[in-house]
C-alpha cells in the first residue's frame, strides 16, 4: 500500500503542501476498520491543516516517507550513532520504535520523559494495556485527560514554576509601592546634594539661600531675573579659552575701567560697519596726492551744492565748484574724477570710514582688543562688543542688587567669577531651595513613602528606600528603587503562578500538587503523562501544542490508520511488546520501518553482547535509515 504523499519539489514550490498532506491523511484513513472514529480524526485534522496549522508529527511522518523513495540510499547507521534510551532519542528524532518492551520498560521510559519535562500521551486499544503501564509508573504526574487549560497558560505556568524561587514565594502578601509612588532618583540626588551643602560663611552656595529666604517674594523674583540674565549673557560669551579678550574686557568694564573708550569705540565700530555694508558694491576710491586740511568741508559744500540743484559748469563756475576743484583733481572714483553727487558722497563715506577705522584701532589698542584688519572684520567685532556690553550691564545690576539685598549682607560680587557663582547659587535656590528646605523635602518624601507601609507586609527593599531618604544617601536609594523594581516583577510572577496553579488544581488537583511540590528540587521536571484509549483520543484530538510525545502501546497489532495519532504530538514512540508478532504489511510498523524510524531495544536480545541496534522488521532492507525530523515542541 502506498501511503506516502505524492509531493514533489515543483508541487511544494507551488504551495500545494497542504493538499498533499490531506491526500496523505485520506490514504491513512482508508485502511480504517473503526470508520466512525477514524472519520472524526480525519475531519479534525483536515480543519487544522486547512486553517494553516499543520500537525508537526503528521508532517514529519509524511516527510520521512517522501524521503524514503529518494534515488540516493541513506547512509548506513552504526550502533554507536543511536541513543540507548528514549529521552535522548526524543531530542533528536521524531519517530521511534521501542521493541520488546514490557509494561515495566514502557513505564520507565514514560517516567524518564516526564522527568525530562515532556508532556506524554500514552494510548492503547484497551484499558488493560494502559493500566498495566500506569501501575508501574513511579511518578504521580499522571492524568486521565490532558488538562483543559489553554496551552499558552500551561506553558506559562511551567515557566513560572521553573523560575520560582524561595525569595519570590516570600513576596506573597507584600504590598509594594508602585513605581510612580517613588520619588525620582535624580530629584533625590539633587536634594541630597543641596542638603549636604555646608560651605564657608562667605560661600555663595551657603550665603545666598540664607539671604534669599528672608527677602520678600517680589524682591527675590527680581534678583532671580537678573541672575538669569547674567547666566545667559556669560554663556553667550563662550569659555575663557574661546574668548580671552572678551572676558578680560568684561572684568575692566564692571569696574568702570575703559568705559568711555569702550562706548566710543563701540559706536565707531557700529557706524563703520554700517558704512562698509552699504558701500560694499561701490566703486573704489583712490587719492593721487595729499588733500588739504579743509578737504572734507569743501567736499561737503560741493555735495550740498549739487544736491540743492546746482550744476557743474565748464565756464563761469560757481564758487563751490571753484573752491573744490583742486581737491577733486587729486581724487579718483574708479578711474574718473568725482564730479557727480553720488561720486562725491562715495568719497565722503570713504573718508569717514577711514577716519573711524583709525579711531577704532586706537581704541582697541587701548582696551587690549584685537583691532580689525579691514572692513570685513567690523561686523564680527560689533557682535562681540555688543555681547560684552550686555554682560557688563547685567553683572553691574547684579552687583548692585546683591550689595543691597540685606542690610547685613556679607556677600559681594567683586569680579566676573563671583558674579557667575552668585548667579548660579541664586538660580539653584530658585529651583531647589536652601539646604534646610532640601532636607525638609527629603524628610517629607521619606514620611510619605513610609506611610504606604502602614498595616501591610512591608518588603525589606521598601524599608531600605525610606532609610536611604532619611540618611540623604542617593546611591543607596537608587539601589533600593532598582531592588523594588525586581521585587515588583517577582511579586507579579508569583501572583500569576498562584493564579494559574489554582486553575490547574481545579481541573487536575493531583498534577497541580505534584508540580507545586517539585519546584524547589527539580525545576525541569514539569512534565505529565496522560493515559487515554486510542479510540477516545482519535475521536477528540487535543489542541495543537498540548503534548510533546505520543506513546502507542501494542503497535505491532495496529493498522495504518492509527498513524493518524501522529497528529497528537510532534513525536511518536511505537511500543512492541516482547514476543508480539506484527501484522502483515501494510501496518503501522511497516510504515514506520519505511519512514526509517529509530529502533530502541526494550531489553537486550539473548545472543546480543554489545547492545547492537537491529531493524525491527526481519524483512527490511539491510542497514537502518537515518532518523528524520527535529525534536522540539
DSSP string, 381-430: HHHHHHHHHHHHHHHHHHHHHHHTS-TT------SHHHHHHHHHHHHHHH
Q: Which residue, 384, 499, 431, 492, is CA-closest to 186?
A: 431
Residue pLDDT, tens place only, 255-306? 888 889 999 999 999 999 988 888 888 888 888 888 888 888 888 988 888 8
Q: Are strands 571-575 and 549-552 parallel, antiparallel or unpaired?
A: parallel
Query: For residue 6, is pLDDT > 50?
Result: no
pLDDT band at 439 (very low <50, low <70, confident <90, very high): confident
User: Coil, helix or strand for 530?
Assistant: strand
Residue pLDDT, tens place only, 26-80? 888 887 766 788 888 888 888 888 888 888 888 888 888 888 766 545 555 544 4
**Does 3.40.50.300 match the CATH number of domain 9-147+508-601?**
yes
CA–CA gap between residue 31 and residue 29 (Å, rounded):
5
Q: Which residue, 309, 335, 334, 331, is CA-closest to 320?
A: 309
Q: DSSP letter for 316, please.
A: S
Query: For residue 475, is pLDDT > 90?
Result: yes
pTM over 0.75: no
Tell me what pLDDT residue 205 has.
54
- Whether 365 and 371 have beta carbons less than 8 Å apart is answered as yes
- Which of residues 395 and 207 earns the better pLDDT score? 395
Query: For residue 617, is pLDDT > 50?
Result: no
pLDDT band at 423 (very low <50, low <70, confident <90, very high): confident
- Which of residues 223 and 403 earns the better pLDDT score? 223
CA quadruple 428, 434, 439, 441: dihedral sign? negative
Peptide bond into 586 cis (omega under 30): yes
Query: For residue 204, is pLDDT > 80?
Result: no
CA–CA gap between residue 129 and residue 175 (Å, rounded):
52
Query: For residue 173, is pLDDT > 90?
Result: no
pLDDT band at 384 (very low <50, low <70, confident <90, very high): very high
Query: For residue 612, is pLDDT > 60?
Result: no
First to last CA, the chain: 31
Query: For residue 521, is pLDDT > 70?
Result: no
Query: Can you tell me which residue has the cell 492509527?
Result: 562
Query: For residue 207, is pLDDT > 90?
Result: no
Query: Can you tell me which residue has the cell 567669577?
Result: 417
Tell me what pLDDT residue 162 has.
80
Domain with CATH 3.40.50.300 in the chain: 9-147+508-601
Computed on alpha carbons and rounded to an integer, the radius of gyration of the chain in Å comes to 49
Tell me what pLDDT residue 241 has.
87
Residue pLDDT, tens place only, 573-611? 999 998 887 777 788 888 888 888 898 887 543 433 333
Tell me what pLDDT residue 572 has.
93
Lowest mean pLDDT among 46-55, 308-317, 434-443: 308-317
DSSP per-residue letters across 95-110: EEEEET--HHHHHHHH
Tell me what pLDDT residue 632 has.
30
Q: Are strands 95-99 and 331-333 parallel, antiparallel or unpaired?
A: unpaired
Query: For residue 465, is pLDDT > 60?
Result: yes
Which uninterrupted H or E stretch holds 143?
strand 142-143
pLDDT band at 365 (very low <50, low <70, confident <90, very high): very high
Stretch 448-458: mean pLDDT, rounded?
Answer: 76
Query: For residue 84, is pLDDT > 70?
Result: no
Stretch 85-90: mean pLDDT, rounded?
Answer: 86
CA–CA gap between residue 536 and residue 509 (Å, rounded):
22
Phi and psi angles of residue 183, each rounded to the nearest 5 degrees, phi first: -60, 140
Q: Quote the Cα angle for 450-451-452, to 5°.
A: 90
Amino acid at each position: 500500500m502506498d501511503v506516502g504523499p505524492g509531493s514533489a519539489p515543483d508541487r511544494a514550490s507551488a504551495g500545494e503542501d497542504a493538499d498533499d498532506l490531506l491526500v496523505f491523511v485520506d490514504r491513512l484513513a482508508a485502511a480504517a476498520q473503526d470508520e466512525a472514529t477514524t472519520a472524526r480524526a480525519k475531519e479534525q485534522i483536515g480543519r487544522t491543516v486547512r486553517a494553516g496549522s499543520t500537525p508537526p508529527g503528521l508532517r514529519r511522518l509524511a516527510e520521512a516517507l517522501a524521503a524514503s523513495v529518494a534515488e540516493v540510499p541513506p547512509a548506513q547507521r552504526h550502533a554507536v550513532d543511536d541513543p540507548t534510551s528514549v529521552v535522548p532519542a526524543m531530542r533528536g528524532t521524531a519517530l521511534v520504535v521501542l521493541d520488546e518492551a514490557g509494561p515495566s520498560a514502557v513505564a520507565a521510559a514514560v517516567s524518564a520523559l516526564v522527568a525530562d519535562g515532556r508532556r506524554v500521551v500514552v494510548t492503547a486499544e484497551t484499558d488493560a494495556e494502559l493500566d498495566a503501564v500506569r501501575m508501574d509508573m513511579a511518578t504521580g504526574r499522571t492524568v486521565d485527560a490532558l488538562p483543559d487549560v489553554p496551552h499558552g497558560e500551561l506553558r506559562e505556568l511551567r515557566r513560572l514554576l521553573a523560575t520560582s524561587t524561595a525569595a519570590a514565594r516570600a513576596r506573597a502578601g507584600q504590598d509594594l509601592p508602585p513605581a510612580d509612588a517613588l520619588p525620582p532618583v535624580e530629584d533625590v540626588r539633587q536634594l541630597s546634594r543641596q542638603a549636604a551643602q555646608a560651605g564657608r560663611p562667605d560661600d555663595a552656595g551657603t550665603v545666598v539661600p540664607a539671604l534669599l529666604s528672608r527677602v520678600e517674594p517680589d524682591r527675590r523674583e527680581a534678583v532671580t531675573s537678573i541672575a538669569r540674565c547674567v547666566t545667559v549673557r556669560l554663556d553667550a560669551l563662550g569659555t575663557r579659552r574661546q574668548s580671552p579678550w572678551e572676558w578680560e574686557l568684561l572684568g575692566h568694564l564692571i569696574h568702570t575701567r575703559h568705559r568711555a573708550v569702550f562706548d566710543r569705540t563701540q559706536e565707531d565700530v557700529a557706524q563703520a560697519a554700517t558704512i562698509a555694508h552699504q558701500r560694499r558694491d561701490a566703486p573704489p576710491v583712490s587719492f593721487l596726492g595729499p588733500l588739504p586740511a579743509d578737504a572734507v568741508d569743501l567736499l561737503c559744500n560741493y555735495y550740498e551744492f549739487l544736491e540743492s540743484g546746482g550744476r557743474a559748469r565748464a565756464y563761469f563756475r560757481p564758487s563751490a565748484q571753484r573752491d573744490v576743484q583742486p581737491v577733486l583733481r587729486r581724487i579718483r572714483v574708479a578711474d574718473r574724477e568725482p564730479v557727480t553727487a553720488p561720486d562725491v558722497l562715495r568719497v565722503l563715506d570713504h573718508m569717514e570710514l577711514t577716519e573711524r577705522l583709525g579711531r577704532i584701532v586706537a581704541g582697541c589698542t587701548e582696551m587690549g582688543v584685537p583691532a580689525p584688519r579691514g572692513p570685513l572684520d567690523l561686523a564680527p567685532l560689533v557682535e562681540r562688543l555688543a555681547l560684552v556690553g550686555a554682560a557688563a550691564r547685567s553683572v553691574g545690576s547684579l552687583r548692585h542688587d546683591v550689595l543691597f539685598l540685606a542690610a547685613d549682607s556679607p556677600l559681594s560680587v567683586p569680579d566676573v567669577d563671583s558674579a557667575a557663582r552668585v548667579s548660579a547659587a541664586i538660580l539653584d535656590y530658585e529651583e531647589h531651595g536652601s539646604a534646610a528646605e532640601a532636607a525638609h523635602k527629603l524628610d517629607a518624601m521619606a514620611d510619605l513613602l513610609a506611610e504606604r507601609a502602614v498595616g501591610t507586609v512591608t518588603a525589606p527593599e521598601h524599608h531600605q528606600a525610606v532609610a536611604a531618604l532619611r540618611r540623604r544617601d542617593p546611591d543607596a536609594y537608587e539601589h533600593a528603587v532598582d531592588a523594588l523594581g525586581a521585587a515588583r516583577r517577582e511579586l507579579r510572577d508569583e501572583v500569576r503562578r498562584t493564579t494559574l496553579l489554582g486553575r490547574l488544581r481545579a481541573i487536575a488537583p493531583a498534577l497541580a500538587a505534584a508540580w507545586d511540590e517539585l519546584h524547589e528540587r527539580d525545576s525541569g521536571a514539569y512534565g505529565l503523562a496522560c493515559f487515554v484509549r486510542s479510540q477516545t483520543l482519535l475521536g477528540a484530538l487535543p489542541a495543537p501544542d498540548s503534548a510533546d510525545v505520543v506513546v502507542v502501546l501494542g503497535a505491532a497489532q495496529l493498522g495504518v490508520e492509527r498513524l493518524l495519532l501522529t497528529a497528537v504530538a510532534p513525536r511518536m514512540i511505537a511500543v512492541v511488546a516482547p514476543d508480539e508478532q506484527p501484522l502483515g504489511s501494510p501496518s503501522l510498523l511497516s510504515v514506520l520501518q519505511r519512514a526509517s524510524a529509530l529502533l530502541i531495544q526494550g531489553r537486550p536480545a539473548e545472543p546480543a553482547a554489545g547492545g547492537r541496534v537491529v531493524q525491527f522488521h526481519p524483512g527490511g532492507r539491510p542497514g537502518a535509515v537515518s532518523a528524520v525530523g527535529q525534536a522540539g515542541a
